[in-house]
Amino acid sequence: MRRHITALGIGLLLSFAMLLSACGSGGNASSSGEYDPDGVFVRGVDLTFQGGISFDPATIGPGWYGYVYPVTNSWLKIDENGEYVMDLAEEVTVANPTTVSVTMRPDLKFSNGETLDAQAAINSIKRTIEAQPPGLRLSELKLVNSMTIDSPTKFTIQLTEPRMALFYPLLADAETAPVSPKTISAPGNHNGDIITAGPFKLESFEPGARVRMVKNDLYWNADNVKLAGIEYRHIGDGAAGMNGLRGGTIDFVAGLNLVSESDASALGGALQGYSNRLPGTDSALFCMREGEPLGDLRVRQALNYGTDRDRVNELYTGGKSEAAVGLVPSGHRLFAEELANAYPYDVQKAKDLLSDAGYANGLNLKAVVMPNESKHFEILQAQWKEIGVDLQLTAATDLNEQWYQAKGANGEVAGVPMLRGIPGTFFRLLTSNAVSNACSYPVPALDTCAEALAALDPASDEFVAKAVECQEVAFKDSALTVNTIFILDNGGYNKSRIGDLPMQSDPLGQMQPDVTKLYMTR
């Protein structure tokens, strides 16, 4: 049994060490300005993205989990070093691969003064499970078999399968965030008036325009929260975000859809840009079938040897990322060191493998590519041409329809970033029944490894060793994808306004400001 205590935390399941590129750091940037007790942190956000923001775990849409945590902080949170630390929980205990217990901090309250006890915690999780919100991890939520009250401040969750490593991260996110009895009992939409126990509470909610949050004085650690409030202001695109930052109307902007590496690099003076390497890769996924080219391991290996990852990094990010074969960058707890050198760039070896597979005269493939992946695939197209592979690029507007549902009809290759952590990436993108395994290619060796990994305590050395092994099975032994570089998380902030920018992680490993520690200067 492994106990997880506040002072210790545990290694992040999605885990990663925050790795910073040359253009600046996203955390611990200090200012000499005087602390402002009335300071309001203003963040630029595209408030119309994916249907708009909802703070209610029961209705939250895709992509919003990284923005709602000031209100929906849960039992754990993930700090900037990739460690789980206690939040509303005083202790979390994993008894075995199907059983986890949460001991709550004493005297917890919702922001309206209602008592947060074990019954309220269980009722909240049940409500979210029943709602099946599209933006949360439903397959992991459905692992819940039963929940029992051990005491007014302790509850236990029993899973249907030994997949603790998949479920555990939900204790640090909106899936298990407690919601007040008043909200649960009230009918209607609670996107903008949800009552929770997080460090902030909603003050006003203007869909598509502005959201204001104020400090929750009943939060268990309210005495150490230095912000008076947080405001999200709508910005329609990355250009508006940069203009708002330069014009002083916002203090911070970040996000894969808002800030590019070049945007972050261009900031200077009082404006600080940063680019962090995430535990996720830009990748070419395959529709694999026996009897077809990509069903042959030698062809997949040839494409890996025929990819100059260092050159991709230089052309695509200006050298600010890192060549990727496995799922996580160097310095990361789950980094597979030997795997990093599994496929050195070797044009002749790639050609020899294609010849052995019966394609000495070359091979034609088609790729389904979303606009944000077009430059990446143009680089791959040029490199693979050198080994005799003619890659035809087809622009896609809906990857779900044109890749997942089409099952190879529009192309045998697709650009799909792998950003689901470990072991989530295996189950969502690569195993035999994974949704991103578009042609349902059987991979029994990875299935076995991933199932064994999912049953382990994510804090254990056994978990680390098995995570490395599963990466080697997927990307070296089976060559299920061509991973090229690690995805960059880019952002910018006004360091003359923000006295410090400590960070925490969201479920995809993207750095978000830790608003329980952040403060503004006068």
What proportions of the chain, in percent to the nearest 5, are helix, strand and coil? Answer: 30, 25, 45
Question: What is the per-residue pLDDT for 50?
Answer: 82
Question: What is the per-residue pLDDT for 28?
Answer: 42
Q: Please give the model's pTM, rounded to 2 decimal places.
A: 0.84
Question: What is the per-residue pLDDT for 56?
Answer: 96
Contact at 8 Å (CB) between 2 and 73?
A: no
Question: What is the per-residue pLDDT for 17?
Answer: 36
Give the Å distances, CA to CA, from 39 to 35, 199, 214, 259, 339. Answer: 8, 15, 11, 25, 47
Residues sharing a CB contact under 8 Å with residue 188, sequence separation 6 or more, in sequence order: none
Question: What is the per-residue pLDDT for 25?
Answer: 42
| Rounded Cα gap, residues 25 and 42, in angstroms | 19
Question: What is the per-residue pLDDT for 10?
Answer: 36
Element (H, E) at 140: helix 138-141
Contact at 8 Å (CB) between 99 and 156?
A: yes
Tens-digit pLDDT string for the chain (522 aa): 333 433 333 333 333 333 433 344 444 444 446 889 999 999 999 999 888 999 999 999 888 888 999 999 999 998 877 778 999 999 999 999 999 999 999 999 999 999 999 999 999 999 999 999 988 888 899 999 999 999 999 999 999 999 999 999 999 999 999 999 999 999 888 999 999 999 999 999 999 999 999 999 999 999 999 999 999 999 988 899 999 999 999 999 998 778 988 899 999 999 999 998 888 999 999 999 999 999 999 999 999 999 999 999 999 999 999 999 999 999 888 999 999 999 999 999 999 999 999 999 999 999 999 988 999 999 999 999 999 999 999 998 888 888 888 888 899 999 988 988 899 999 989 999 998 899 999 999 999 999 999 999 887 889 999 999 999 999 999 999 999 999 998 999 999 999 878 999 887 777 899 999 999 998
Give the Å distances, CA to CA, from 174 to 75, 116, 137, 494. Answer: 10, 16, 10, 29
Task: Provide CATH code, domain 279-488.
Answer: 3.10.105.10
Residues sharing a CB contact under 8 Å with residue 54, sequence separation 6 or more, in sequence order: 60, 61, 64, 68, 135, 191, 192
Contact at 8 Å (CB) between 41 and 515?
A: yes
Question: What is the per-residue pLDDT for 256?
Answer: 75
| Rounded Cα gap, residues 84 and 13, in angstroms | 9
pLDDT digits (tens, 9 = 90+) for 150-206: 999 999 999 999 999 999 999 999 999 999 999 999 988 899 999 999 999 999 999
* Sign of the four-CA dihedral 376, 382, 387, 393: positive
| Among 118, 126, 114, CA closest to 154 | 118
User: Environment class of residue 116 by beta-carbon count within 10 Å: exposed (0-12), middle (13-18) or buried (19+)?
Assistant: buried
- Superfamily for domain range 2-270+495-520: Periplasmic binding protein-like II (3.40.190.10)
Question: What is the per-residue pLDDT for 69?
Answer: 94
- The one-letter amino acid code at 243 reads N
Q: According to DSSP H, which parts of 228-283 are helical? A: 238-247, 261-266
Alpha carbon distance, N-terminus to C-terminus of the chain: 48
Query: Cis link prior to 62 (omega < 30° from 0)?
Result: no
Question: What is the per-residue pLDDT for 33?
Answer: 67
| Rounded Cα gap, residues 194 and 58, in angstroms | 10
Strand partners, 483: 283
- What Rg do the C-alpha atoms of the chain give, in angstroms? 23
CATH 3.40.190.10 range(s) for the chain read 2-270+495-520
Question: What is the per-residue pLDDT for 264?
Answer: 93
Residue with tokens 């070049």: 262
| Among 295, 293, 251, 296, CA closest to 272 | 251
| Rounded Cα gap, residues 157 and 168, in angstroms | 10
Contact at 8 Å (CB) between 4 and 92?
A: yes
Contact at 8 Å (CB) between 74 and 116?
A: no
* Sign of the four-CA dihedral 364, 369, 373, 375: positive
Residue with tokens 């890996």: 304
Strand partners, 402: none
SS3 readout for 292-329: CHHHCHHHHHHHHHCCCHHHHHHHHHCCCCCECCCCCC
Element (H, E) at 465: helix 461-472
CATH 3.10.105.10 range(s) for the chain read 279-488
